[in-house]
Amino acid sequence: MSVTITQTAADKIKEAFKANDMPENSCLRVGIKGGGCSGFSYTLDVAAEPGEGDQVFEAEGLRLICDPKSYLYLNGTEVDYSDDLLKGGFVFNNPNAKASCGCGASFSA
């Protein structure tokens, strides 16, 4: 399996990369950290290149990277973007989440 991104989310990331003059080969780091109302919070960050042990995925013209520990919880996850008025922003469709908070920013596995 892998971590994927929708075209809509990829377009938002590419816009951010361009607006912030990020180098063309920049990667989107998708990860998790402890915290949030359900146990784990999703993280998105920018990296110049993958780190040692990172999983690397190509999707919609972007390189997505994920550290080994986060990948255990994010394998099969799709990153999307929503323009919804109340829950707008990046959305994580994670098949490994047993429960998530109302806003979708955190989950438990």
Fold held by 4-108: Hypothetical Protein Aq_1857; Chain: A; (2.60.300)
Instruction: Output 30 or 106, whichever has higher pLDDT.
Output: 30
Kindly report, residue by residue over 47-104, the tens digit of the pLDDT.
999 999 999 999 999 999 999 999 999 999 999 999 887 777 999 999 988 766 555 5
How far apart are alpha carbons 95 and 82 in whole angstroms? 18
The pLDDT of residue 1: 76
Domain regions of the chain by residue span: 4-108
Q: Could you tell me the pTM of the whole model? A: 0.85
Is the confidence at residue 5, as pLDDT, over 90? Answer: yes
Helix, strand, coil share of the chain (percent; to 5): 20, 40, 40
